[in-house]
Amino acid sequence: MPDVTTLSASDCDALAQGLRDAADAAKEQRKVIDPQGQEYFVLQRQEDALRDMADQYTAIAIERDTVLPDLSAAHLQAAIDQANQTLLGIKKVKAAIGVFAGLIDFASAVISKKPKAIWDAAKVLKDRVDAVA
């Protein structure tokens, strides 16, 4: 894992782009239907959090300082809980569980504040969301 202090402005640009891609994927996949035909907005809250993080990394790219975004753990936990509750209704949908696993990986990476891990997790999440689509 790279030391966060070595993050360059272009690393932050790439990270911001990855987060925007993940947010777009989340947006497109929001409409998930469970076996009972109920619609869920699965990743809605994640989309907003991802967009917020994308703008934070853009700000860091501009500043190119060494401070990671001050992500509120409570804010993330609320997002995960929301996704968890929503996904409980569709846990039989295998691909959706993959998205959930990706979300957990992503959140873990964010909490650990390791940019490379966040980047990798964002890509995995995007792939899984794409797979559901």
State yes or no: residue 34 binds other proteins (CB under 8 A).
no
Nearer residue to other proteins within complex by CB, 30 or 123:
30
Shortest Cβ distance from residue 41 to other proteins (Å)? 8
Determine how many CB atoms are found less than 10 A away from the CB of residue 62. 11
For the chain, give percent helix, strand, coil, nearest 5: 70, 5, 25
Residue 129 and residue 13 in contact, taking contact as beta carbons nearer than 8 Å? no
Binding site for other proteins (CB under 8 A): 9, 13, 16-17, 20, 23-24, 27, 30-31, 39, 41, 44-45, 47-48, 51-52, 54-56, 58-65, 69-70, 72, 74-75, 78
